[in-house]
Every structure is written in structure tokens, then in C-alpha cells.
Structure 1
Amino acid sequence: MPSEERAEGGEDATEGRVLAGRYRLNKRIDEGGAGEVWQARDERLDRDVAIKILGPSADEAFRERFADEARRAASVIHPNVVTVFDEGRDGADAFMVMELVRGRTLRDVVADRGPLRPHEAARLVAQIAAALDAAHEAGVIHCDVKPANVIVDQQGTAKLTDFGIARAARGPREHELIGTARYIAPERIEGRAPTERSDVYSLGLVAYELIAGRPPNAEMETEDLLRVRLDGRAPSLRLARVGISEEIDRVVAKALARDPQGRYASAGAFARELLAASQRDDATGVLPPVTRPLRARGRREFHVDTTIALLAIVLVLVATLAIFASFQGRALDA
């Protein structure tokens, strides 16, 4: 995809292009610093797919790593992971072919709805955790877990995507700081290699954002944010949203521990504790329906019965007076 074409014609210059003689680009659905994502048609298998494209500005080393990570991501087969079908090159462009998920990112969900109920957030976190556990079992560390990289489809299934900067969990680990600063673990800021617990930290930040409705320290610039992440304590959900239980706050804070050894050993372990805590929190937060006490109903019925009795007494008195008046009238006539 030559940059001159993109500059002159924008999206129209690329729409309809066929990559590798097989994938026809139909619609650009996202773009960022690492490239673009397109909805495309696999004309060989007659199905819709999503394609991530690295443009000609990416250097050769990044292209090779992109292809390597596409192959690693393809090894992670799980219902909560966006499946990678293919990778290749077309001219100057490297591309990755993935499952097309029709839905919305968690970033968009939070932007539209604000904070989610803790139990709803925990169910989404549990699905992302299942995807991460599958990736870690396959030897892949994601390194960029964030709401924008989770798509929720029309059935409510969360799918983790964008393994483009993932790292091999087995073998040499790179120390280059790559990822989104707002969701990166403290040890990565220090230049240490990522581990599975680095992904747990990022998942903790996602959980925080879903429950609070915004990321921690949202008002900070990147430099200040990274400094606080290195020197400060784990952010507290109870300071961000009223009504959050101490248990939920404690579980999320453990996932966000400064020291990786202080975090949960796996994403699944974190998700299970968050689910349990949120279920207890939801149960205690639901007030029972207000019912009228039985004795109140009795008082009302007693009040009605008394009224009827009084009316009956009045009628008897009126009738008695009428009869008395009638007898008195007859006596006068006599």
C-alpha cells in the first residue's frame, strides 16, 4: 500500500485492493500507530475477515517481528481469543488475517455506559482471563491488554485481540518497552522482561476501569502516570466509586501490586476471586422488596369493620326513633 496512494486518495485509494491475490479490502475499521485494520473478504474461502496491515513506514525488523507474533498468536486457540488465520506480505505491506468479530470494544462500552456493575465487570474479566491463561499456556505473553483490545460480540462474548506485540514466554525475552503506557506494568517501565504477571497487572487495570468507569489517574499525563506507577500504592476502587465493597477493592489491588510476586499467579486466579467477591457484593447490595406488615392489614380491616358497625348502630337508632315517633303520633290522635 504505497503511502503516495493513501495520501492522494485516502481510504478510497485502498478500498477494493486485493492482498496476496486473495483478500479484498472493503472497509477500514480502525487505525493507529502500528497500522490499520480493515474488514475484508477472503475470496478463496468466501468469508469475511479482519486484516491488520503494517504500512511501508514500518522497518524490516518490525515486519519480521510482526510476522513472528502472528504465528505465535495463531497457536492460541480459544473461544475468547480472536483467531489468526494467515499472515503475509503484499508489496511493501505486511498483513495479518484474523477472525472478524462483529461487536464493540470494551473501550466503547465504558465510554457509552460508564461504570458497570461489579458482577458484570467480573464476568467480562473472567473471559479475558481465560484467553490470557490459554495464551500463557501456549507460551505467549500478550503485553498490551487494554479495553481497546477486547471486543464484545453480539452474544456478549469477550474476545481478546491484537497479539501484534506479544512476546514468547519461553526462550529469550526482549526488554524493549512496547505497549500502551496507561496499561503497562511497573516492571516493564523499569526495563525488566514481561512475564505472565505483567498481563495480570494489565488485566487488573482493565477491571478497575470497568468498575470505576475510568482508568486510575485518568487526569495525569504519561510521564506523571508512569512515575506514580513506580512510586505510589495500588489505586483504590473505593476512592473512585461509592459503594464498592472492601473485598472487591482488595482483590483488584492485589492484581495491581507493585511487586509482581505480590500479584495473582495467573489471570484465572484473579478472575475467580473477583467473581466470588462481586457475587457477594451484589447479594448484599440488593434490597428486598418492601412488603406491608400483616398487622397493618389487620388494622385496616379492623377500621373498616368498626365503621360498618357504627353505621349499623346509627341505623338502629334512627329506626327506633322512627317507631317511637309513630307510637307517639297514634297516642295523640287517640
Structure 2
Amino acid sequence: MVALVHSLMRKRTMSSKLGALAGRYILGQLLDKDEMVSTFEGLDSKRNWPVLVKLLPKALTNDPARRQKLERLAERLAALEHPNLQSIIEAGWEEGVPYLIAEGIAATPLAEKMGQDWSVEQVARVVTQIGQALIHAHEQGLIHGRLSPQKVLLAADDSVIISELGLEAVLETPWAQVQEALMPYLAPERIQGWLPDARADVYALGVILYEMITGLQPDDSVEQALSWLREIAPEIAPELEPVLARALDKDPQRRYTTVGEFMADLQPILSRYLEPADSFLPLESELPEVSAPPDAPPPVLITPAMEGIPAIPMPEPPRLPTFDWAVFEQNLPAIPLPEPPPMPTISSEGIEFPTVAPTAFLEKPEEPPAPQKKKELAASPTPSSKAASSQGKFSPQLTQPNINTVNVRRGLRIVFIVVAVILLLTFVCCCWLIYASDLNIASTPLSCLLSLI
């Protein structure tokens, strides 16, 4: 336990020294660590996206051949497009430490859920997705070689993502350094030094299937493991036993050669527990070729232009209605425009302003008056109407003020001013006399004058 804590502390110290990989990928919490790969949470600071950072051994840097393998693997993984395979964004080296940048996935390793009770439907859904992903990878020439529940990720929507595909061909992990937790999923020939191939992935997938159904890992004896299967899952054991016996065979020569063969035998058993959309579909390369019988006539393309076949007249398309704008414009009634309001005129007598209301030209034209009876007398014309009739239109004249009225008003103003001055002088004189009598002031010519007034 102490050694594990120290190793984690060293790995965190190394990640802090590395800083941002390639100037953009920031390392976070350590998620997984095995004998060769350490997986960290990461953040792409350039795009603000979560990523997974996988740090690989420094020994790859010193080996040009393995370094070249890693570069080619990163390119091939980046080109893979499958919903159940984790995609690789970038590969590189930072201070002599090789790394891989994978897409960030909110998922849980299958290893953390192996202890729970799985229904046959859940097992069928997970195993089917793993099989489809492995078949696609094998067709691209990529072998996993390190398949285990720790490398199988389960998302919230029950979709499966397989990580670290193809890394074993680059890492070449010695079997003595493999962790004890991964040993049950390692094919027996790998312990003898064989390189991983498709049969190694078949064995690992068979172990995962067996463990999800029984909750146990298969023993060294396949017969003992199958007896446990009959006791724990008797409803599915009779059909599943021969398929698992071949997938878990210790001899790779008697094992399934490809995952496609394994899934082809497993499909009839699992299809009863899957929805039609989840059932296993073979890839295009596995579909049988259908050829016509040798005595079948060649296909003939029949066309209407062939001799002896009358041409079928096609109905004419309906004509769209047309619209003649010229006719439309001719039928439009003429709209009389209102006359502009009369403008004021300037003459020698002054400025003459019209008395027509500003909105008079907007009103509707007056209807002609009804004919009057002969006995009715015509109204006497007014001076303004006479002037309008003489000029042909209404032109009001400016009214001149009366000169006599102006003179009378001016005289009244003068009289009022004179009376006001006299009253003011009388008041001042009275005040002076009263003041002089109180003080016994001798009479002066001014006082005599005031007394006379």
C-alpha cells in the first residue's frame, strides 16, 4: 500500500513538471495506472474540451522502431470511425515522455461493475458491442492484445467504448510485468511469449462473458468452469456451454480464429434477449456472395424506345394561369388627384392669405347640389362670393382697419394720461400743505402757490 502511494506521488510530481503538453493539454487527476500506461484527466485549453492523457514508458523514446510504431498507430487510430472505439486526437513527446491524447468520455470502467448482478439482456448488450468493435478493428489490422474489463468503458446510455486499442503491439509488455488483476484475461499462449493476435482477443472476450454471467473468473480447468456455469445459469448454460468451451480453450489452435466466428455462434443465443436494434449485424465483408445461376439470362434494360414496344404518351403538365398586367392596368379606374392648397399672394396692398382649411383638399369632393324648384328664390350673393365669381375662384381679401376708430383710441389714451398726472400733483400738494402747517413753516411763494391750487 505504501509503495502504491509513493508511485502515485511520483507520477503526480512528474505530471506537474510536464505542465501543459504541446502547450495546450493540461493534466489533471490520475484515473488509471497499470504496468505500462498511466491515464490522466486532461483539458484542451485551446478548445476548452475535456480529454484523456495517456503517458507511456520513456523506453519508447530510446527505441526508434517502437517510436515509429507509435506514430503509425496514432495515425491509424485517428482514422478509425466506430461508435465503440475510443478515438485518438494526437500523439507526441514531452521531455522524453511519449503520450497519447484521447477523446474525453464520461464513462465508468466495466471492472468497477463486475461484482453486480447482471441480467442476461445487459450481458448480451455489452458483449455484442464489444464484439462489433473488435471485428471492425481486426478488419483494419489492429489487435487489442490488452482487453480486460478495465479497458472497457460503460457510458451513461449503456454504450460501450474500448480504449487502448493496438497499444500492446507498441508496448510489448513482458508477461512477468503484467498486473495480477489482468492475468485472468491474458491468453495462455501470451505467457509462452507469443505475440497477440485475434485469438487472444477472443479469449479475453470469452472470459468477460463468463464473468458477467457467473460472477466468477474461469479456473485453469475449462471443465470446472463450465460446471459452475451449469449451476449458476442453468437456463442459458445448455446453449452457451459449447460456445464458451471453444472460446476459452487453452490451445489457440482449437479456439475461434476470429471474433466474427465467435459472435456468429453467440448471436442465436443472445438475440432472444436483445431488441432488434441491438442485435448483432455482420459486417459487409462477412455477408455471403449471392450470384445468379449459370443458366439465367442476362439482365435486359427495358426502355420505351425499344422496337415493338409502343411509346406511352405522357400527359402534358397543367398550364399555369397567366396574368396580363397591361389589361389589368387598362381596367383600373382613374383616381383624381386633389388640387394643392392655394398659396398666399403678395400684392401692392399687402400679403393676401387664403382662408381655405388646410385639410380641405383631403376631404371627399362635394356631391353636386340637388336641383331646386323654380319657385324658390336664389340666395342673395355676398360680396365675397361676387369676388370669387368674378375671378373664377375663391380668393379672400385682407380686411383694412378703420382710421377713425384708431384716432379716437389715441385721444382717449392722452386724456387718461393727463388726468392721472393732475391727480398725482394734487395729492403731492395736499401732503406738502399738511406737513407745512404742522411745522409752522413760513409761507413761501411755493406754499402760496400750492394754497391757491
**TM-score of Structure 1 vs Structure 2, range by shorter chain:** 0.5 to 0.7
Q: Distance in 1 between matches of 2:11 and 2:190?
A: 40
Q: Distance in 1 between matches of 2:38 and 2:174?
A: 23
Question: 1:77·1:134 contact (CA, 8 Å) conserved in 2?
Answer: no
Matched ranges for 1:116-127 at <5 A: 116-127=118-129
Which residue pairs with 2:433 in the alignment?
Answer: none
Deviation, structure 1 residue 54: 2.4
Q: Distance in 1 between matches of 2:11 and 2:138?
A: 42
Which residue pairs with 1:293 in the alignment?
Answer: none
Among 172, 182, 185, the alignment partner of 1:183 is 185
Q: Distance in 2 between matches of 1:207 and 1:14?
A: 40
Normalising by structure 2, report the TM-score: 0.51
Q: Distance in 2 between matches of 1:33 and 1:6?
A: 13
Matched ranges for 1:189-200 at <5 A: 189-200=191-202
* Secondary structure at 1:40 match in 2: strand
Which residue pairs with 1:102 in the alignment?
Answer: 106
Which residue pairs with 1:210 in the alignment?
Answer: 212
Q: Distance in 2 between matches of 1:184 and 1:152?
A: 21
Deviation, structure 1 residue 238: 1.8
Q: Distance in 2 between matches of 1:234 and 1:94?
A: 43
Deviation, structure 1 residue 77: 2.4
Which residue pairs with 2:52 in the alignment?
Answer: 50
* Secondary structure at 2:93 match in 1: strand
Deviation, structure 1 residue 234: 7.9
More helix, by proportion: 1
Among 60, 64, 88, the alignment partner of 1:84 is 88
Distance 1:63 1:38, change over 3 A: farther
1:235 alignment partner AA: A
2:85 alignment partner AA: V
- Greater RCO (Cα-Cα under 8 Å, separation 6 or more): 1
- RMSD after superposition: 3.4
- Alignment identity in percent? 28
Which residue pairs with 1:222 in the alignment?
Answer: none
2:100 alignment partner AA: M
Among 237, 240, 249, the alignment partner of 1:248 is 240
Structure 1 unmatched runs, 5+ = 169-173, 218-227, 283-334
Deviation, structure 1 residue 276: 2.3
1:103 alignment partner AA: A
2:244 alignment partner AA: V
Matched ranges for 1:135-214 at <5 A: 135-163=137-165, 165-167=167-169, 177=175, 180-214=182-216
Deviation, structure 1 residue 12: 9.9
Deviation, structure 1 residue 151: 0.2
Among 34, 38, 41, the alignment partner of 2:36 is 34
Deviation, structure 1 residue 164: 5.5
Which residue pairs with 1:315 in the alignment?
Answer: none
Matched ranges for 1:204-243 at <5 A: 204-217=206-219, 228=220, 235-236=225-226, 238-239=229-230, 241-243=232-234
Q: Distance in 2 between matches of 1:123 and 1:5?
A: 37
Q: Distance in 1 between matches of 2:163 and 2:155?
A: 12
* Secondary structure at 1:131 match in 2: helix
Deviation, structure 1 residue 107: 0.7
Q: Distance in 1 between matches of 2:269 and 2:110?
A: 22
User: Which 10-residue stretch deviates more, 27-36 or 196-205?
Assistant: 27-36
Distance 1:143 1:5, change over 3 A: closer
Question: 1:264·1:270 contact (CA, 8 Å) conserved in 2?
Answer: yes
Distance 1:102 1:148, change over 3 A: same
Distance 1:256 1:151, change over 3 A: same
Structure 2 unmatched runs, 5+ = 1-5, 275-453
More strand, by proportion: 1
Deviation, structure 1 residue 70: 3.3
* Secondary structure at 2:232 match in 1: coil
Deviation, structure 1 residue 235: 3.1
* Secondary structure at 2:195 match in 1: coil
Question: 2:114·2:212 contact (CA, 8 Å) conserved in 1?
Answer: yes
Distance 1:36 1:191, change over 3 A: closer
Runs of 4+ in 1 over 6 A off after TM superposition: none
* Secondary structure at 2:245 match in 1: helix
Among 253, 258, 265, the alignment partner of 1:273 is 265
Distance 1:166 1:246, change over 3 A: same
Question: 1:142·1:166 contact (CA, 8 Å) conserved in 2?
Answer: yes
2:25 alignment partner AA: Y
Question: 2:109·2:153 contact (CA, 8 Å) conserved in 1?
Answer: yes
For residues 115-150 of structure 1, the C-alpha deviation after alignment (integer angstroms, 9 at most, x for no partner) is x12232122111111111111111111101111100
* Secondary structure at 1:141 match in 2: coil
Q: Distance in 2 between matches of 1:83 and 1:13?
A: 23
Q: Distance in 2 between matches of 1:8 and 1:77?
A: 36
